[in-house]
Structure 1
Amino acid sequence: MLIIATNAIVLSSLKFGDSSLIVKCFTLQDGLKSYLVRGVLKSKKGGLKVAYFQPLTQLKIVANHNAKNTLNSFKEIQVFNSYQSIYQDIVKQSIAFFLSEVVSNVIQEEEANEALYSFLEASFNWLDAHEKVANFHLVFLLKLTSFLGFYPDISEIEKPRFHLLDGYFTEDNFDKHVISGNDVVQFKKLVHINFENLEQLSFTKLERQVVLQMLISYYKLHIDSFRNPKSIEVLEAVFR
């Protein structure tokens, strides 16, 4: 057992027994870790608060880290980069739940990935600080693929079709994984967008749903264990 001090981002929490939680975090120092938080659901003064374990909460922790694939425990916790709007704004909250589910789904490694951690931290801080965020999750999903190893090859982006399985733009229309027409036009809009120029990105409600489904399909084709996010229905309902 090692005592580790590190930053962490909460990805999920699951009730365990009557009063405890199992909390999954992505940590700066050790990657993905799960913690048993005993008695946190009991009403009491002081101690740990359930609010610490909302999706995407950023923490500074001191924790006991055990061998791989076992539950760990917190010794000290404090909120870091406290959000001002994510949990008060229904749109941002829906995005946060959706993205926490996706990130929890795609990150499996119990090892440090400082570049990925920095991307997540900066992205969620940006979401908290800005108002026009209707397309934030789409840009986030595409950018996340660069850390997962399947960012699209855009060297021939002028071509009219995109192969979701092979990840490149093409002239060919030879199998079911190729998108074309208006679908690929909307997909191309994402490629040169950063969070800083997100306001330049314009989709109708239907286009936003179509692009999201294309990105989900893209993830499914490249990550065997990827599951359709349960929170996607709530997210789509918010933008109707």
Structure 2
Amino acid sequence: MLIKTKVIVLSKLKYRDNDLIVKCFTSHRGVVSYLLRGVLNSKKGQSKIAYFQLLSQLQVEESYRENQSLQTIKDLRLDYSFTSLHTNILKSSIVMFLAEVLASVLREEEKNEQLYDYLETTFRWLDTKDEFSNFHLLFLLNLTKHLGFYPDTTDTNQMYFNLNNGLFESKKEDVYSISGENLTILKQLLGINFDALESIKLNSKQRQSFLAMLLLYFELHLGSFKKPKSLQIFNQVFN
């Protein structure tokens, strides 16, 4: 059965000598992995590989077979042509880091149009902007809405935020209760849109500290989540 769908590339992995396995988040069926046969062994295949850069947005026609873990692609084209996402070294570092996070946390093979729209829209926003140093922080925070553990904002005036239960609290309950600078940044980011990010001024140390807190938040709520291997390189580039 042939199915046309939009996809966002999350990861790619060499398979055997000449094949490639590409993991994508699709608009019609969540996470799908595709087997690209022989693409590493021909000029035609090499040109096809260029489409599968991390977080590329494509339109594909897949040859779908039920109960098959690896699907195949009959035809593809760009859905959106990025101008800076893969050429600007800072943006490409964000791409590498966030693609690794997404490949880790997105596992469901079910339709989620709201999440697809969120990914599509935010990465297109990043592609067009010159000021984006806090992008990854708001991106990850808002991603928790789609993953089911966005902070409860009913009582944000409290002095602590508990990473373990996602609640603002009046007193320090355990080691996962945060306060101070990270709490202030969290309150600043809650509910704002990406265009308002320029108003939040953070230095690299503050960003790294808040990012570490966010990744711990992910670990606490997603049992299988592990800190991305690209984190160290990412922090070095943004230092």
Q: Aligned AA for 1:147?
A: H
- The alignment status of 1:100 with 2:99, answered yes or no, reads yes
Partners of 1:132 and 1:113 lie apart in 2 by 29
The corresponding residue for 1:54 is 53
Q: Any unmatched runs of 5+ in structure 1?
A: none
| Deviation per residue, 1:187-233 (Å, 9 max, x gap) | 22211321111111111111000000010000000111111111111
Q: Are 2:119 and 1:131 aligned?
A: no
Asked whether the equivalents of residues 38 and 45 of structure 2 are also in contact (C-alpha less than 8 Å), the reply is no
Give the stretch that moved more between structures: 191-200 or 108-117. Answer: 191-200
The SS at the match of 1:166 is: coil
Structure 2 distance, partners of 1:76, 1:48, is 13
- SS where residue 171 of structure 2 aligns? coil
> Could you tell me whether the CA contact under 8 Å between 2:10 and 2:25 is conserved in 1?
yes
**SS at structure 1 position matched to 2:133:** coil
1:40-79 aligned at under 5 Å gives the runs 40-45=39-44, 48-68=47-67, 70-79=69-78
Name the stretch that deviates more: 34-43 or 133-142: 34-43
Deviation, 1:46, is 7.0
Deviations 1:159-194 (A, max 9, x none): 111000110111121211111122212222211321
Give the Cα–Cα distance (whole angstroms) in 2 for the partners of residues 45 and 216 of structure 1: 40
How far off is 1:119 after superposition? 0.5
Q: CA deviation at 1:47?
A: 7.4
Change (3 A) 1:181 1:51: same
Match of 1:28 in 2: 27
Matches within 5 A, 1:201-212: 201-212=200-211
Distance 1:218 1:45 in 2: 44
- Are the aligned partners of 2:98 and 2:136 in contact in 1 as well (CA < 8 Å)? yes
Partner SS for 2:121: helix
- CA–CA distance in structure 1, aligned partners of residues 226 and 88 of structure 2: 26
TM-score (norm 1): 0.96
Read off the aligned partner of 1:88 and give its amino acid letter.
Answer: T
Q: Structure 1 residues 69 and 109 mapped into 2: Cα distance closer, same or farther (>3 Å)?
A: farther
CA RMSD of aligned residues (A): 1.3
Distance 1:160 1:69 in 2: 51
| Letter of the structure 1 residue corresponding to residue 212 of structure 2 | Q
Are residue 16 (structure 1) and residue 15 (structure 2) matched?
yes
Provide the residue aligned with 1:117 in structure 2. Answer: 116
Taking only the aligned residue pairs, the percentage that are identical comes to 45
Distance 1:45 1:33, change over 3 A: closer
- Rounded Cα–Cα distance in structure 2 between residues aligned with 1:144 and 1:125: 16
- What TM-score do the two structures reach when normalised by structure 2? 0.96
Deviates more, 1:76-85 or 1:62-71: 62-71
* Counterpart contact for 1:193–1:201, Cα < 8 Å: no
Distance in 1, Cα, partners of 2:187 & 2:73:
44
Specify the alignment match of 1:168 in structure 2: 167
Q: Secondary structure at the match of 2:95?
A: helix
CA distance in 2, matches of 1:46, 1:238: 32
Q: Does 1:190 align with 2:189?
A: yes
Cα shift at 1:48: 4.9
The amino acid of 2:226's aligned partner reads R
AA in 1 matched with 2:170 = E
Moved over 3 A (4+): 45-48
Matching residue's letter, 1:35: Y
Structure 2 unaligned blocks of 5 or more = none
The DSSP-based 3-state class of the residue aligned with 1:215 is helix
